[in-house]
Amino acid sequence: MRDTVIVFAKVPRLGMVKRRLAAGIGDRAALRFHAATLTALLRDLQSCRSFDVVLAGTPDRMRLRLPVRVDRIDQGRGDLGVRMTRALRRYRRGRVALTGCDIPDAGSADARAAFRVLGTTDAVFGPAADGGYWLIALGPRRPAELFGNARWSTRHALADTLTRFRRHRVGFVRTLADVDTAADWRCWRAGVRHAGRARPW
């Protein structure tokens, strides 16, 4: 069975995405960032032929307007943990990675690294600089309940989730910074300019 990467994302719509970021830079700039980052991630992942790529979108059944074609599933209802569990259970017999889309530096190399680490572990996490995590990868041996009462969107999210994996072998890939606020966005833009890379819009 082929490995699968699930990209967890809101369908790009004005006023519906990156609301904390939009509060600082405006709805249209936040939408441009979200759509460009999501498109770049999907294209990069699809360029790697060693795994399948699926977009788990929300709201359910909302039309996806992106310049990239990708298989799509709906996230369904519930909090973040419930929705991620639902998506991951679709692939319980094989190896699957789930990643967010607000990490501009994440890409196919990170997915490949996660699956390599998964060769000797049961689960792999990509820690975020704020205490959360941007990626989780799982093999067939998993806890019955993946996330429990994880405190999402706090510095405790990764630590809370790791308590569910006490009886499992856990590995990690690199720590990255997500872009949730205007301050995060400015730091990322400064880093992009310093590295000489083009901004994604």
16: buried, middle or exposed (CB in 10 Å: 19+, 13-18, 0-12)? middle
Q: What is the mean pLDDT of the chain?
A: 92
Tell me the pTM.
0.92
Average pLDDT of 31-58? 95
Whether residue 96 is predicted with pLDDT greater than 70 in this model: the reply is yes
- Tokens at 15, concatenated: 């006023």
User: Are 52 and 43 within 8 A, CB to CB?
Assistant: no
Domains along the chain with CATH numbers: 3-195 (3.90.550.10)
pLDDT at 199: 38
Q: What is the pLDDT of residues 114-136, one digit of tens each?
A: 999 999 999 999 999 999 999 99
